Amino acid sequence: MQGRPSPLLWLLTSAALACTPPGDAGDASDSLSTGGSDTSATVADDQGSTATGMGDETGSSGGPMDTTAGSDGDDSTTGPPLMCEPVPSCVAPLPDAGPTVSWEHFESNLVTASGSPRHRGRDMFYNPGDTHWIMAKFAYGPTDWDLSGEQVDMFLLRNCEGDWEPLGPIFTTFDGDHATVEGVEDSGGWVFFQMPMELPLGRHRIHMVVRGDDTRADTYIEVVEPGTPIILSDIDGTLTTSEWERLLDYLVDNIPDINPGAPEALGALVDKGYRPMYLTARPEFLGNRTYQFVEQRGLPPGIIHTTLTATGALGGDAVTYKTQELATLASRGLVPSWVFGNTSSDAEAYDNAGILPLDHRIFFQYDDTFGGRRIESYLELVPEFEALDPVCE
């Protein structure tokens, strides 16, 4: 089980997370499934298509502008606003991977018998010219037991339309097989696949199939220009109706309720050209549940990041985690124009990132000591956001 906590230990940890006061905790609850590899396949062919078309920049007022601040604070010109397309849902009939095959390792029978699959992908924003990695973890049961050394077939839905393109097989890793990629350490059960081509601007879906039992996982890559306008939201207590739902919803397999007006408010910003990201301090194994929450509660699809730990992050650890995530975004020229939270850890991370103006830091029923804006209901925001100018043409 390679370092995975026992069911009893995990439940005790989850209970502790669920009982942490909202003011001291970041999100701590969901994750989405992926895989790893015996000898993780890497295809190194950097000859790809030249991306054109979709990135825009926004100033602090939310309108388009010609320059964006990089992570070092310098301004870099990226040109006038370009054409922006709506964020696609990427809904499509799933590819047929063919009949299942025998497991490569006897232990895989025990792993898969330990419980339901918890496979989850690692979504990524990339700029044109970046190396594009597909990353996912494949695990089963309440102890999140890694599936190692087994074949996973991958398929690409380029720009979320057309036909699935087979990318070939890869094998899930044993613990430590692969070097760290984009902050993702190889804890076993991962797949790390370097795309053989540069993906064009837009949103792309990668569908992965475990060949031994036909269980599946998805992950998403969005290729955007530096300066593309984005919005970023915490989840637990910010979008869900309570910080306290996490453990109960997990144990009874429920998807949490959503605060009224949140889908409409965030959807209004997306309609104006912003690309959404959901940043939660939940444990990694709850990633797939987070995808289900976003989809089932009508939120606009976007990049989703949990922590990469089995316990999530609380208090100061949540601040550090979210601050680092925001710094990684800034290194790609992506500074959120609007951010949403509900705790002191959200407030401190947004202040560390220098999100401005202050009234674009929005806190649900929470008073931000750094000067952000409190709201009582997302319904307050809908007419305001609907009246904004588009940030792309």
- Please write the tens of the pLDDT for every residue from 40-95: 343 333 333 333 333 333 333 333 333 333 334 333 334 444 456 778 889 899 99
Q: What is the pLDDT of residue 302?
A: 96
Q: Do 238 and 362 sit in the same domain of this protein? A: yes
Residue 216 resides in a domain: yes
Q: What is the pLDDT of residue 56?
A: 35
Q: How confident is the model at residue 9 (pLDDT cuts 50, 70, 90)?
A: very low
Q: Do 370 and 243 sit in the same domain of this protein? A: yes
What's the CATH number where 139 sits? 2.60.40.1930
Asked if pLDDT for residue 180 goes beyond 80, the answer is yes
Q: What is the pLDDT of residue 21?
A: 37
Residue 68 resides in a domain: no
Q: Report how many domains make up the chain.
A: 2
Q: Which among 223, 256, 271 is the end of a domain?
A: 223
Asked if pLDDT for residue 293 goes beyond 50, the answer is yes
Identity of residue 22: P
Q: What is the pLDDT of residue 285?
A: 87
In angstroms, rounded to a whole number, what is the distance separating the alpha carbons of residues 224 and 52?
10
Residues sharing a CB contact under 8 Å with residue 228, sequence separation 6 or more, in sequence order: 54, 55, 56, 57, 275, 333, 334
Q: Do 217 and 251 sit in the same domain of this protein? A: no
Of residues 18 and 147, more confidently modeled: 147
Residue 14 resides in a domain: no
What's the CATH number where 364 sits? 3.40.50.1000
User: 222, 162 in Cβ contact below 8 A?
Assistant: no
Q: What is the pLDDT of residue 2?
A: 40
Q: Do 291 and 366 sit in the same domain of this protein? A: yes
Q: What is the pLDDT of residue 256?
A: 87
Q: How confident is the model at residue 255 (pLDDT cuts 50, 70, 90)?
A: confident
In angstroms, rounded to a whole number, what is the distance separating the alpha carbons of residues 128 and 144?
35
Residue 146 resides in a domain: yes
Flag the least confident range among 4-8, 122-126, 235-239, 303-307: 4-8
Asked if pLDDT for residue 244 goes beyond 80, the answer is no
Residue 98 token pair: 């063919």
Q: Do 289 and 369 sit in the same domain of this protein? A: yes
Residue 182 resides in a domain: yes
**Cα Rg of the chain (Å, integer):** 20
Flag the least confident range among 69-78, 190-199, 248-257, 298-307: 69-78
In angstroms, rounded to a whole number, what is the distance separating the alpha carbons of residues 145 and 119?
11
Mean pLDDT value of segment 316-343: 97
Average confidence score pLDDT of the chain: 82
Asked if pLDDT for residue 238 goes beyond 80, the answer is yes
- Please write the tens of the pLDDT for every residue from 96-155: 999 999 999 999 999 999 999 999 999 999 999 999 999 999 999 999 999 999 999 999
Flag the least confident range among 62-66, 97-101, 199-203, 361-365: 62-66
Q: What is the pLDDT of residue 20?
A: 38
Q: Do 297 and 341 sit in the same domain of this protein? A: yes
Q: Do 244 and 213 sit in the same domain of this protein? A: no
| Residue whose token pair is 């388009």 | 64
Q: Do 250 and 340 sit in the same domain of this protein? A: yes
Q: Do 202 and 239 sit in the same domain of this protein? A: no
Q: What is the pLDDT of residue 284?
A: 87
Q: How confident is the model at residue 342 (pLDDT cuts 50, 70, 90)?
A: very high
Range of the domain at 133: 107-223
Q: How confident is the model at residue 6 (pLDDT cuts 50, 70, 90)?
A: very low
Flag the least confident range among 6-20, 110-124, 130-144, 224-238: 6-20
With a pLDDT cut of 70, the percent of the chain lying above it is 76
Q: Which string of DSSP letters, residue by residue, matches 216-230?
A: EEEEEEEE--TT--E
Q: Do 146 and 248 sit in the same domain of this protein? A: no
Q: Do 204 and 323 sit in the same domain of this protein? A: no
Residue 67 resides in a domain: no
Residue 18 resides in a domain: no
Q: Which among 193, 223, 253 is the end of a domain?
A: 223
Which of 18, 26, 155 has the alpha carbon at shortest distance from 97?
155
User: 182, 133 in Cβ contact below 8 A?
Assistant: yes
Q: How confident is the model at residue 281 (pLDDT cuts 50, 70, 90)?
A: very high
Mean pLDDT value of segment 354-375: 98
Q: Do 211 and 182 sit in the same domain of this protein? A: yes
Q: Which among 196, 223, 250 is the end of a domain?
A: 223
Residue 15 resides in a domain: no
